[in-house]
């Protein structure tokens, strides 16, 4: 009986599993194999060499790129967390009717459905040398020369990440906040707790899982991103993924593969730390 029940589960889960095996697990195995291969300008040469890794791990460029990547990841996480938490708190605890909650929530969600590239190029007329921000600052007399660091800079990159990924913080934090028993807050109020005490001792601890899920999203998205750095950094900034992207454009696949494997290991190590702190499966 139990077995026949399980059989249904197996064929039902099969299509998804097959696609993930064929288009995720197997390709990553291919990357792993190719990362040990040799190459010249024309072709890949099956081999087992460690040079790709050796070059990668001893290069100053890699080190700098990793430092940049962690900097972007940390700054983006910090700001998306602050903004995302505040927004989720407002939606969950200050908006009382469920209908309004849904409407405001949808309002935040809509931009998520439009292309990231468009959302990035949308910043050009605002941040450029002759952009709106610079002209506004100049007309108001705050600055004399246009600010150059607004576009094609670390500032622009982090700003774009905040623009793109804050939603990934809002959704899980909002979700866990909605599950907090409102009686707890009432009881704390009755017991004379100050608003910030409620926040610190009840709301933050109880929305920890949402914060974790959001952090995982933002961290991993920023770690693996190369388009934002390419577009918002104007081609002069580099993180780990842009290095891989450049190697792909130069058809240096084994080198790109080695870079990809090192990135994969880095991301997995970070995730292991985060997963220790929260059981994702319980949160769904």
Partner 1 sequence: MTNRPMSFYFLGAFFILFVLFLYGPNITIAILSFQGENGGLTFPMRGSSLHWYAQLFERQAVGDFSSALLRSFVLGVMVMICTVVFSLLAGLAFRKHFVGSSMVFYLTLASLILPSILVSLGIGLMFDRFGFTPNWFSSGFGSHLTWTLPFGLLIMFAVFNRFNPSYEMASADLGATKLQTFRFILLPLLAPSLMGIGLFGFTLSYDEFARTLMTSGALNTLPLELFAMTTNVTSPVLYALGSVTTLVSLCVILLTLVLLKQLNRKPKHQGK
CB of 125 to partner 1, least distance (A): 5
Site for partner 1 in 39-78 (CB under 8 A): none
The answer to whether residue 178 forms part of the interface with partner 1 (CB under 8 A) is no
Helix 60-89 and helix 208-223, axial crossing angle in degrees, nearest 10? 140
Q: Is the Cα torsion angle 194, 197, 202, 207 positive or negative in sign? A: positive
Tell the smallest beta-carbon distance from residue 189 to partner 1 (Å): 8
Query: Which of 59, 86, 100, 197 touches partner 1 by CB under 8 A?
Result: 86
- Select the residue interacting with partner 1 from 215, 253, 255, 258 (CB under 8 A): 253
Rounded to the nearest whole angstrom, what is the least distance from the CB of residue 263 to partner 1 in the complex?
Answer: 6
> Which residue pairs, CB below 8 angstroms and at least 24 apart, start in 69-74?
69/222, 69/223, 69/239, 69/240, 69/241, 71/154, 72/154, 72/157, 72/158, 72/161, 72/222, 72/229, 72/239, 73/218, 73/219, 73/222, 73/223
With CB under 8 A, what is the number of residues at the site for partner 1? 83
- Check residue 24 for interaction with partner 1 (CB under 8 A): yes
Residue 103 contacts partner 1 per CB under 8 A: no
- Interface with partner 1 includes 168 (CB under 8 A)? no
Q: How far is the CB of 178 from partner 1 (least distance, A)?
A: 12
Q: For partner 1, which residue of 59, 100, 135, 197 counts as binding (CB under 8 A)?
A: 135
By CB under 8 A, residue 158 contacts partner 1: no
State the Cα–Cα distance between residues 269 and 60, nearest whole angstrom.
22
Q: Would you say 195 or 205 has its CB closer to partner 1?
A: 195
Given 128, 184, 202, 246, the residue binding partner 1 (CB under 8 A): 128
Q: CA-to-CA distance for 29 and 51, rounded, in angstroms?
A: 19
Stretch of residues binding partner 1 (CB under 8 A), selected from 18-26, 58-66, 140-148, 203-211: 18-26
Using CB under 8 A, which of the segments 55-63, 89-97, 137-145, 202-210 binds partner 1? 89-97
- Contact between 34 and 253 under an 8 Å Cβ cutoff? The reply is yes
Question: Considering the rule CB under 8 A, would residue 171 count as an interface residue with partner 1?
Answer: no
Q: How far is CA 129 from CA 134, 139, 157, in A?
A: 6, 14, 16
Residue 198 touching partner 1 (CB under 8 A): no
User: Using CB under 8 A, which of 75, 87, 157, 198 touches partner 1?
Assistant: 87
- 138 binds partner 1 per the rule CB under 8 A: no
DSSP lists the bridge partners of residue 45 as: 38
Residue 269 binds partner 1 (CB under 8 A):
no
CA distance 174 to 210: 7
Instruction: List Cα–Cα distances, 238 to 72, 153, 177, 234, in angstroms.
Output: 11, 11, 37, 10
| 38, β-bridge pairs | 45
């Amino acid at each position: 009986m139990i077995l026949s029940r399980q059989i249904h589960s197996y064929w039902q889960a099969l299509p998804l599993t097959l696609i993930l095996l064929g288009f995720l697990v197997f390709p990553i195995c291919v990357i792993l194999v190719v990362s040990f291969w040799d190459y010249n300008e024309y072709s890949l040469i099956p081999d087992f060499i460690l040079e790709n890794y050796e070059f990668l791990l001893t290069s100053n460029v890699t080190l700098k790129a990793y430092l940049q990547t962690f900097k972007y990841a940390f700054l983006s996480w910090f700001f998306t967390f602050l903004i995302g938490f505040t927004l989720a708190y407002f939606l969950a605890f200050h908006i009382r009717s469920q209908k309004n909650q849904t409407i405001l929530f949808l309002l935040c969600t809509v931009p998520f459905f439009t292309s990231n590239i468009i959302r990035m190029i949308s910043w050009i007329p605002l941040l450029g040398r002759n952009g709106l921000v610079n002209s506004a600052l100049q007309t108001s007399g705050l600055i004399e020369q246009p600010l150059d660091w607004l576009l094609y800079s670390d500032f622009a990159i982090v700003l774009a990440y905040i623009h793109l990924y804050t939603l990934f913080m809002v959704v899980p934090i909002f979700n866990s906040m909605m599950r907090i028993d409102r009686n707890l807050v009432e009881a704390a109020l009755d017991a004379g707790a100050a608003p910030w005490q409620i926040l610190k001792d009840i709301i933050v601890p109880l929305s920890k899982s949402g914060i974790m899920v959001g952090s995982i999203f933002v961290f991993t998205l920023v770690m693996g991103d190369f388009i934002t750095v390419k577009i918002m950094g104007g081609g002069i900034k580099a993180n780990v993924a842009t290095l891989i992207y450049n190697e792909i454009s130069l058809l240096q696949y084994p080198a790109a593969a080695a870079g990809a494997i090192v990135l994969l290991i880095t991301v997995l190590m970070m995730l292991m730390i985060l997963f220790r702190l929260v059981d994702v499966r319980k949160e769904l």
